Structure 1
Amino acid sequence: MKKATTAESNKGLIAELVFLLNKGNAHAGFEDAVHDMKEDLLGKKPHGVPYSLWQLVEHVRITQADILEFCVNPAYKEMNWPDDYWPKEAAPANMKAFHDTVKQVEKDRKAFIELLESEEADLYEPLAHGTGQNLLREALLIADHTAYHTGEIILLRRMLGDWKA
């Protein structure tokens, strides 16, 4: 049996990462969670919950954009946690702002996937400007972070009576 080269075996891993980033495997994906949200619920914070649906969706966008920027920009400047990662406003200015945020999440995810799939990508090589981070770690970080908050989005929608059972 012929042993696969690292590049050949990475194709399988990259395909699994792409699927994980796009679909979420055994749970609802981000697009499912944000589909058909009602404008009047975007800014509501259920009792005991410190953030709204809008804040969760915008937080996913901000964080993913930051991870992408970190991966592609050797002059990356670290943002301040948590202030720079969470929107102050409980609701978007309008539905266009909400839809623009969802589209930006999709656009940045696509750009990250293109980075993963590029010929020169090395999943394991530490990023020169980081402290040991590599593309594999950052892909898993995006997937894990988005999945975590996707679950929260669904839970908030259930609490607000706006989720299909």
Structure 2
Amino acid sequence: MEPLIEELEKLLNGGGAHVGLKDATKDIPFELLGERPHGLPYTIWQLVEHIRIAQWDMLEFSKDGNHKSPEWPDGYWPEELAPADKISWNKTLTQIDDDLKIFIELIHKQDLFEPIAYGTGQNILREAFQIADHNAYHIAEIVVIRRLLGVWK
């Protein structure tokens, strides 16, 4: 089981075949966080905030049978194009990182295959894959937007 948990941890942290969130969001000029180049539907801020909300929801579902998910889809996307200020931006990035650390603690403590008692067949392994897949998808979109804005390495 330990090799599986180690691989899940790498996957959740953005290792391997794709960029992690920390690299994707590093050194973005604040004034570009609300830009939608070439008519794209989302800004970097909206994508990062969406990652935060969705990951938080999956974490809370994994730990708490009384958790109520946001309304789909509107509750998972911010309306504002950009963060109010740099404090809000940093707070979102910190929450994503903190929630991911808590989820990684869960994969070390819980049986990955045991169905979540209050779920409909989900287990921690499924939630781990869903978080990793969802985050990787949107992190790739962040990289594309950065390329279009000319602020990617």
Residue 28 of structure 1 is aligned with which of 1, 9, 19?
19
Q: Tell me if the contact between 1:61 and 1:104 (Cα under 8 Å) persists in the aligned partners.
A: yes
Distance 1:115 1:83 in 2: 28
Q: Deviations over 1:125-161 (max 9, x none)?
A: 1101110000000000000000000100000000011
Which residue of structure 2 lines up, in the alignment, with residue 142 of structure 1?
Answer: 131
Distance 1:95 1:51 in 2: 19
- Runs of 5+ unmatched residues, structure 2: none
Which residue of structure 1 lines up, in the alignment, with residue 114 of structure 2?
Answer: 125
Distance 2:69 2:144 in 1: 30
How does the TM-score come out when normalised to structure 2? 0.97
Answer with 1 or 2: which has the greater Rg. Answer: 1
Q: Deviations over 1:99-149 (max 9, x none)?
A: 11111100000000001111xx11111101110000000000000000000
Q: 5 Å matches for 1:1-165? A: 10-118=1-109, 121-164=110-153
What's the CA shift for 1:41? 0.3
| Number of aligned residue pairs | 153
Which residue of structure 2 lines up, in the alignment, with residue 5 of structure 1?
Answer: none
What's the CA shift for 1:47? 2.1
Distance 1:67 1:83 in 2: 16
Q: Percent identity?
A: 54
Q: CA RMSD in A?
A: 0.8
Q: Tell me if the contact between 1:60 and 1:105 (Cα under 8 Å) persists in the aligned partners.
A: yes
Distance 1:78 1:152 in 2: 24
What's the CA shift for 1:73? 0.4
Mean Cα deviation higher: 19-28 or 97-106: 19-28
Q: Tell me if the contact between 1:24 and 1:143 (Cα under 8 Å) persists in the aligned partners.
A: no
Q: Deviations over 1:40-97 (max 9, x none)?
A: 1000111221110000000000000000000000112232111000000000001111
Distance 2:93 2:75 in 1: 18
Residue 140 of structure 1 aligns with an amino acid whose one-letter code is F
What's the CA shift for 1:11? 1.1
Distance 2:70 2:32 in 1: 29
Mean Cα deviation higher: 42-51 or 59-68: 42-51
